[in-house]
């Protein structure tokens, strides 16, 4: 079976080739085709990276799994904040083609720390093989996982709405100056960087499902502020709540997904990252039709309601997954007797 390390290396090389081809492209159609063919591997790279993190956590018997994964996830936010700045500087100094070559070097640089990293390839123990023989057991775990993926797609769809329509509402309708709006928008990713590690620590202490449930509620309240407020400080508060919401979902979601299906951590990671991608498609449709039906700012009521609905669905799914887990534990104990 192909190891996660090999998949990560292959994905990094494939993405590096894609960026290299973009730096040589002269037509927009070519860039689009390259993006479809090569950059689709980004999801595989993300999923397998967190799969390796889980393998290392299991190997080292680390108890602070949420703290570790959320801290690692915070570096993604740091990269999103740093990348555009680096790209602009390189493009200004050396041109756009050289700027597109920078990701080639960065993706290939991934290969160096992986040289000495060794994690055991997914091997089923005798007990695990018995579990996998039970289609019902496998199906139950993954039904909960798929349902959690749908919940994440539902609750995160509001992000596409916020990114597309909050600037229009704030600048065009409220006439808030661009400097104030820029500060409002840039404060969110910076907040995420610092909140994510703290979120992981809280999850390890109080339970990951409780923090996720709180994150859904915070997100719903943030969108409610967008839909009912016209004062800059209230909108800024909504942005901070949204940043906490994103930090919780992005920082803990992959860990919770892996807990739902501990024997299929690569699948769990892939479903979570696929849910993120699908959420932007769903959010685009919600925004396009919702803005015509409700207008601004009432459009933001839709993601607020979806967040509250997601809370209910998440609570139900968690209870069902917990009950099924307890049932399998009891059956396993009886089988041993």
How many Cβ atoms are within 10 Å of 199's Cβ, its own excluded? 28
Q: Which two tokens stand for residue 43?
A: 């999801």
Tokens 């739902």 — which residue?
A: 260
16's tokens: 């590096």
* pLDDT at 131 (0 to 100): 43
* CA 329 to centroid of chain Cα atoms: 30
Q: Say what the pLDDT of residue 326 is.
A: 66
What pLDDT sits at residue 142?
79
Mean pLDDT confidence for 34-59? 82
Contact partners, residue 205, CB within 8 Å, separation at least 6: none
Gap between the Cα atoms of 184 and 235, Å rounded: 8
Tell me which residue has tokens 């999923």.
47
Specify the higher pLDDT residue, 331 or 3.
3
Of the candidates 185, 291, 309, 286, the residue with the CA atom closest to the CA atom of residue 238:
185
Both structure tokens of 180: 């104030």
Provide the pLDDT for residue 218: 95
C-alpha to C-alpha distance for 64 and 105, rounded to whole angstroms:
33
Q: Name the packing angle between helices 232-260 and 65-94 (round to 10°).
A: 120
Burial class, 126, CB count within 10 angstroms (exposed 0-12 / middle 13-18 / buried 19+): exposed
Q: pLDDT for 118-165, tens place per residue?
A: 665 444 433 444 444 443 444 555 789 999 999 999 999 999 999 889
Q: Measuring CA to CA, how many Å separate 289 from each of 88, 135, 150, 255, 282? A: 34, 41, 21, 34, 11
What domains sit in the chain, N to C, each tagged with a CATH number? 4-109 (no CATH), 127-336 (1.20.1250.20)
**What is the residue-averaged pLDDT of the chain?**
83
C-alpha 268/C-alpha 274 separation (Å) is 10
CA distance 336 to 334: 5
Confidence at residue 122, expressed as pLDDT on a 0 to 100 scale = 47
Q: What is the mean pLDDT of residues 23-51?
A: 84
pLDDT at 183 over 70: yes
* pLDDT tens, position by position, 65-124: 888 888 887 887 777 777 877 888 888 888 888 988 999 999 999 888 887 776 654 444
pLDDT at 39 > cutoff 90? no
Closest by CA to 229, choosing from 304, 279, 289, 291, is: 304
Whole-prediction pTM value?
0.79
> What are the pLDDT digits (tens) for 213-227?
999 999 999 999 999
Q: Tabulate helix, strand, coil % of the chain (nearest 5).
A: 85, 0, 15
């Amino acid at each position: 079976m192909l190891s996660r390390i090999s998949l990560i290396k292959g994905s990094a090389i494939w993405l590096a080739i894609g960026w290299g081809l973009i730096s040589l492209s002269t037509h927009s159609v070519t860039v689009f085709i390259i993006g479809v063919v090569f950059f689709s591997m980004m999801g595989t790279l993300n999923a397998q990276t967190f799969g390796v993190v889980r393998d290392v956590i299991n190997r080292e018997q680390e108890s602070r799994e949420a703290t570790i994964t959320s801290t690692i996830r915070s570096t993604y936010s740091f990269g999103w904040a740093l990348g555009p700045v680096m790209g602009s500087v390189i493009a200004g100094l050396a041109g756009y083609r050289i700027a597109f070559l920078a990701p080639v070097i960065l993706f290939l640089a991934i290969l160096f720390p992986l040289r000495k990293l060794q994690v055991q390839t997914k091997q089923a123990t005798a007990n695990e093989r018995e579990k996998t023989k039970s289609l019902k057991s496998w199906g139950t775990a993954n039904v909960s996982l798929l349902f959690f993926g749908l919940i994440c797609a539902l609750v995160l769809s509001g992000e596409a709405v916020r990114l597309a329509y909050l600037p229009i509402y704030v600048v065009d309708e409220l006439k808030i100056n661009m400097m104030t709006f820029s500060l409002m928008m840039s404060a969110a990713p910076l907040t995420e960087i610092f909140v994510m590690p703290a979120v992981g620590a809280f999850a390890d202490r109080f339970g990951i499902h409780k923090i996720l449930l709180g994150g859904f509620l915070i997100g719903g309240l943030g969108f409610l502020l967008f839909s009912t407020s016209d004062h800059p400080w209230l909108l800024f508060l909504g942005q901070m709540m949204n940043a906490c919401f994103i930090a919780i979902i992005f920082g803990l979601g992959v860990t919770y997904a892996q807990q739902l299906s501990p024997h299929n951590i690569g699948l769990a990671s892939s479903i979570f990252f696929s849910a993120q991608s699908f959420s932007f498609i769903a959010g685009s449709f919600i925004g396009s039709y919702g803005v015509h039906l409700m207008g601004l700012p009432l459009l933001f009521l839709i993601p607020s309601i979806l967040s509250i609905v997601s809370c209910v669905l998440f609570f139900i799914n968690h209870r069902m997954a917990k009950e099924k887990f307890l049932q399998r534990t009891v059956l396993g104990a009886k089988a041993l007797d």
